[in-house]
Chains A and B, each alone.
Chain A
Amino acid sequence: MNFKGTLPTLILEALVREPTHGYRIAQSIKERSEGVLDFKEGTLYPALHKLENEGLVESYESNETGRARRCYRITKTGRATLARDRAEWRQLSRAVTVILGEA
């Protein structure tokens, strides 16, 4: 399913639960959507870099099972953006549902 525009929001949602690395973010999105949101993992990192440039997430080095990994955590600004995105999404989703006559 094409959900390119919502990928940054989904990344923020994954990071609000726990700071983690790129692979786990991808798996979390796929698992929680029960496989519906199956995106190409190569596009996850550019989205993460964009969020980092905008100050919505920050990265840090972490040692996981003896291997150095780049992990990401959500910032205060990121949490505020996520709250705004959630509200906008609910509004949009409600409107589309009404138009499609499924309310």
Chain B
Amino acid sequence: MTRLDSWLKQATRHLSKDAAAQVRTEIEEHYWSAHEAAIADGAASAEADLRVIAALGDPKLANREYRRVMLTCSEARALREGNWEARTLCSRRWLLLAVPLAVLCTGVALLLAGKTAVAQVPLAGGAAMALLLGATFLPIYTPARARIFRWVKWATLLAVFLVAFDLKSSWLLISCLWLLAWTEWTRIALRRKLPVADWPKQLYL
């Protein structure tokens, strides 16, 4: 393994396949330009190699910087899986409306039967599901609209969970919300790393 290969291996650690290939290409281009310049300066090939690798700096530091701006393996996977979920949901659009509607109907039926306390859970759950699943029907295709939608979504979700589970069941609240919070966290990273033109629909939501 050459010094350049070893540098690249460390610098591309945990980056997605595409990002790693891009880094490899640009650093190799840089390496050969710098190598040619060093040779032209009168350095021998081995010395030029040493000089160029030293100028590139610490590969671990470069890796940290790359991971801040390029997709990592886990983010690329989250994006792929998100795309798959979005496609699956969009191909079964009736499900998006039918499921929250069924849950809301159950809540209304319980309410009419006089079981007010029990009815709270399906009513709140139905509202949350309608918000999450129905979002794909809304005209959200600009970052500003997306930001407003996300604020409304989180405020509604918190209100819904508080109504459904009250504060005594806060452990249940946290266990329900952590998955949504984790997804949101990953999407924040993806939004930062991808140009707006490349955002898939789920990054707006």
| Same complex origin of A and B | yes
Known A-B contacts A21-B29, A22-B30, A23-B34; A46 and B57 likewise in contact (beta carbons under 8 Å): no
Known A-B contacts A41-B57, A53-B195; A46 and B68 likewise in contact (beta carbons under 8 Å): yes
Instruction: Contact check, A69 vs B58: say whether CB atoms are below 8 A apart.
Output: no
Instruction: Contact check, A55 vs B195: say whether CB atoms are below 8 A apart.
Output: yes
Minimum CB–CB distance from A44 to chain B (whole Å) comes to 8
> In the bound complex, how far is the Cα of B56 from the Cα of A47, in angstroms?
14
Contact of A53 among B26, B29, B61, B192 (CB under 8 A): B192
Instruction: Contact check, B23 vs A45: say whether CB atoms are below 8 A apart.
Output: yes
Most buried by B among A39, A45, A55: A45
> In the bound complex, how far is the Cα of B70 from the Cα of A55, in angstroms?
15
Whether B66 sits at the interface, judged by CB under 8 Å, is: yes
Contacts of A42 in B (CB 8 A): 7, 11, 27, 56-59, 61-62, 65
Whether B148 sits at the interface, judged by CB under 8 Å, is: no
Interface residues of B in 25-44 (CB under 8 A from A): 25-27, 29-30, 32-34, 37
9 A-B pairs with least C-beta separation: A40-B57, A46-B65, A42-B62, A23-B33, A42-B56, A49-B69, A42-B57, A50-B69, A23-B30
Contact of A49 among B7, B25, B55, B70 (CB under 8 A): B70
Instruction: Contact check, B26 vs A22: say whether CB atoms are below 8 A apart.
Output: yes
Interface string of B63-88 (1 = CB under 8 A from A): 00110111000000000000000000
Task: Give the residue name and chain of the A residue nearest to B19 (CB).
Answer: A49
Contacts of B70 in A (CB 8 A): 46, 49
Interface residues of B in 1-60 (CB under 8 A from A): 7, 11, 23, 25-27, 29-30, 32-34, 37, 55-59
Known A-B contacts A49-B69, A53-B194; A43 and B61 likewise in contact (beta carbons under 8 Å): yes
Task: Give the residue name and chain of the A residue nearest to B23 (CB).
Answer: A45
Whether B193 sits at the interface, judged by CB under 8 Å, is: yes
Task: Give the residue name and chain of the A residue nearest to B57 (CB).
Answer: A40
Contacts of B37 in A (CB 8 A): 27
Contacts of A21 in B (CB 8 A): 29, 33
Contacts of B55 in A (CB 8 A): 40-41
> In the bound complex, how far is the Cα of B7 from the Cα of A52, in angstroms?
24
Minimum CB–CB distance from B69 to chain A (whole Å) comes to 4
> In the bound complex, how far is the Cα of B205 from the Cα of A36, in angstroms?
46
Minimum CB–CB distance from B4 to chain A (whole Å) comes to 11
> In the bound complex, how far is the Cα of B7 from the Cα of A43, in angstroms?
13
Contacts of A45 in B (CB 8 A): 23, 26-27, 30, 62, 66
Instruction: Contact check, B65 vs A43: say whether CB atoms are below 8 A apart.
Output: yes
Task: Give the residue name and chain of the B residue nearest to A55 (CB).
Answer: B195
